[in-house]
């Protein structure tokens, strides 16, 4: 990618009215360009200084502002940066932006962070963490984004790369000095090391699924026969009447999705259409969509009603891993203890009373807390895919040893594995990938 250093500008605060708005400027020569519109000469101010100034377009005063000056390379982007804090009127912020656009261009989405990456102020995982932090909705998503922003994933990948480089160097030196009288490499020991290394990569890939759950939320769907209380439990978790609840079977024709926070963890609940034989075309479509939700959920809550015979369990979760299913007996408050004991493996649940969902909530929290066992996590599909590709190359390296193909083949496979790991932190990348990543950012970041 061609290095970008031309001056750019964008409003860095959300649209609307508030206490202040911030207009951010970055790029080579941006300070004198901003100077055209300020009553104070910012170029004479020290780096990391804040100056009170009028901001005007010609004779027209727009606002009294605070200008914060950062000088390269000691700024977020690594370039000269000016941040203009104006009063929180959207009209005023738009006027300042419009005025500055006469001397510079509007920033692309994520371009400030892209420049920080290109100027080696952060690696690609940290750049992604910036966006994750902005979009964090719960305490746990905030914590995992902060860890990544502080460099936890970068440091882990660097450690793995250094180990892999040592294995490669050992083989490449032997190739270079093949005709010299050197000590022959113990390939059995190399294979053992690579198998141990492969286990570390597999653990990292597994962490990616856990990271996805914490970042995107645990996908939980309610399933069962019509009118067993799925929507009532759904509403109780939301503490609102989101789903229509009536005694008539088939009320829910399509799935509903809502997001809640449980003890700081993000959970995505899906209330699905009750599954039954029906001639209603609309209800049939809803049931088909319900089955798609079931297949793509992390957890499935199978609900049955204490006042009805237990639904045909296999009918609803056929082909689903047993470990994904949580069985719930609804209206448990209507049963005595002896009757409850007959529902082995079922979690008692009721939407009446403050503690009616407590046991079910604890079952979900056990799952969520179990996903947080890793200190370092992959957090998105791009990262997971790159490490999986590294695993494939490493497997080929081990196979080359088993088949006695020679040092060159093993070294080549290890080099490929290194390149895939370098993709995670952005040592190897391309324009299309960067555009895809940063296009998801807001314009002012």
Domain chopping of the chain, boundaries: 8-123, 139-214+380-426, 217-370
Nearest to 24 by CA among 129, 106, 137, 114: 106
For residue 254, what pLDDT is reported?
56
Whether 8-123 shares its CATH topology with 139-214+380-426 is answered no
Sign of CA dihedral 135, 137, 141, 147: positive
H helix intervals, 150-186: 152-176
Q: Which whole number is the average pLDDT over 160-165?
A: 92
pLDDT top residue among 221 and 370: 221
**Distance in angstroms (rounded) separating the CA atoms of residues 410 and 404:** 9
**Distance in angstroms (rounded) separating the CA atoms of residues 114 and 433:** 12
H helix intervals, 403-425: 407-425
Q: Does residue 386 contact residue 421 with C-beta atoms inside 8 Å?
A: yes
Compute the C-alpha angle 172/178/183, nearest 5°: 90
For residue 264, what pLDDT is reported?
85
Task: Provide CATH code, domain 139-214+380-426.
Answer: 1.20.120.430
For residue 286, what pLDDT is reported?
63
CA dihedral of 253, 271, 216, 369, whole degrees rounded to 10: -160
Q: Does residue 112 contact residue 134 with C-beta atoms inside 8 Å?
A: no
For residue 281, what pLDDT is reported?
63
Q: Which whole number is the average pLDDT over 345-350?
A: 87
Residues 6+ apart with CB under 8 A from 15: 90
**286-315 burial, b for 16+ CB within 10 Å, e for fewer?**
bbebbbebbeebbbbbbbbbbeeebbeeee
For residue 178, what pLDDT is reported?
57
Sign of CA dihedral 327, 332, 335, 341: positive
Task: Provide CATH code, domain 8-123.
Answer: 3.30.1360.120
Compute the C-alpha angle 190/200/383, nearest 5°: 120
For residue 200, what pLDDT is reported?
93
Mean residue pLDDT across the chain: 85
Residues 6+ apart with CB under 8 A from 268: 216, 217, 218, 219, 220, 257, 258, 259
Tokens of 221: 């769907």
Q: Which whole number is the average pLDDT over 251-262?
A: 72
pLDDT top residue among 247 and 24: 24
pTM above 0.85, yes or no: no
Res 225 pLDDT > 70: yes
DSSP state of 351: S
DSSP state of 309: P
**349-375 burial, b for 16+ CB within 10 Å, e for fewer?**
bbbeeeebbeebbeebbebbeebbebe
For residue 253, what pLDDT is reported?
44
**What residues form DSSP beta bridges with 268?**
219, 259
CA 303 to chain centroid, in Å, comes to: 30
CA 174 to chain centroid, in Å, comes to: 42
pLDDT (tens digit per residue) in 318-347: 666 778 888 888 888 888 788 787 788 888
Range 217-370 classified under CATH 3.40.50.300: yes
For the beta sheet containing 20-26, the strands, ordered from the edge strand earlier in sequence to the opposite edge, are 49-57, 60-70, 81-87, 20-26, 8-11, 105-106
pLDDT band of 51, cuts 50, 70, 90: very high
Q: Where are the beta strands (DSSP E) in 41-177?
A: 49-57, 60-70, 81-87, 105-106
**Distance in angstroms (rounded) separating the CA atoms of residues 139 and 127:** 20
166 burial (CB, 10 Å; 0-12 / 13-18 / 19+) is exposed
For residue 248, what pLDDT is reported?
39
pLDDT top residue among 268 and 243: 268
**Distance in angstroms (rounded) separating the CA atoms of residues 84 and 64:** 10
**Distance in angstroms (rounded) separating the CA atoms of residues 302 and 327:** 5
Res 18 pLDDT > 60: yes
**Distance in angstroms (rounded) separating the CA atoms of residues 118 and 114:** 6
Res 175 pLDDT > 60: yes
DSSP state of 324: G
């Amino acid at each position: 990618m061609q290095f970008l250093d031309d001056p750019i500008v964008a409003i860095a605060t959300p649209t609307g009215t508030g206490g202040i708005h911030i207009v951010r400027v970055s790029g080579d020569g941006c300070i004198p360009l901003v100077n055209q519109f300020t009553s104070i000469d910012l170029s004479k101010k020290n780096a990391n200084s804040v100056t009170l100034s009028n901001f005007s377009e010609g004779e027209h005063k727009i606002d009294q502002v605070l200008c914060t000056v950062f000088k390269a390379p000691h700024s977020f982007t690594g370039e000269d940066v000016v941040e203009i804090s104006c009063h929180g009127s959207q009209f005023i912020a738009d006027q300042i932006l419009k005025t500055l656009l006469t001397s510079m261009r509007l920033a692309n989405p994520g371009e400030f962070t892209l420049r920080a990456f290109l100027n080696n102020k952060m690696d690609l995982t940290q750049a992604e963490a910036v966006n994750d932090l902005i979009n964090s909705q719960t305490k746990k998503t905030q914590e995992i984004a902060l860890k990544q922003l502080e460099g936890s994933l970068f440091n882990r990948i660097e450690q793995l790369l250094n180990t892999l480089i040592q294995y490669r160097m050992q083989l490449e030196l032997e190739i270079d000095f093949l005709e010299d009288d050197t000590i022959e490499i113990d390939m059995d020991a190399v294979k053992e090391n690579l198998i141990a290394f492969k286990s570390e990569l597999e653990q990292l890939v597994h962490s990616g699924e856990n990271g996805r759950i914490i970042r995107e939320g645990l996908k939980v769907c309610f399933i069962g026969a019509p009118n067993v209380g799925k929507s009532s439990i759904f509403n109780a978790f939301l503490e609102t009447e989101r789903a229509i609840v009536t005694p008539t079977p088939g009320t829910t024709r399509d799935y509903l999705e809502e997001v809640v926070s449980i003890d700081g963890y993000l959970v995505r609940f899906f209330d699905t259409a009750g599954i039954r034989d029906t001639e209603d075309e609309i209800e049939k479509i809803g049931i088909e969509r319900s089955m798609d939700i079931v297949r793509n959920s992390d957890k499935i809550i199978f609900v049955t009603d204490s006042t009805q015979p237990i639904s045909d369990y296999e009918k609803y979760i056929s082909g689903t891993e047993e470990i994904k299913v949580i069985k719930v007996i609804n209206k448990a408050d209507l049963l005595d203890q002896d009757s409850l004991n007959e529902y082995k493996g079922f979690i008692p649940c009721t939407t009446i009373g403050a503690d009616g969902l407590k046991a079910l909530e604890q079952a979900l929290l056990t799952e969520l807390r179990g996903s947080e066992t890793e200190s370092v996590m992959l957090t998105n599909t791009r990262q997971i895919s790159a490490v999986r590709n590294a695993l494939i190359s490493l497997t080929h390296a081990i196979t080359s040893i088993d088949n006695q193909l020679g040092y060159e083949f093993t070294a080549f496979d290890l080099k490929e594995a290194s390149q895939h790991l370098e993709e995670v932190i952005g040592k190897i990348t391309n324009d299309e990938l960067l555009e895809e990543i940063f296009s998801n950012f807001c314009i002012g970041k």
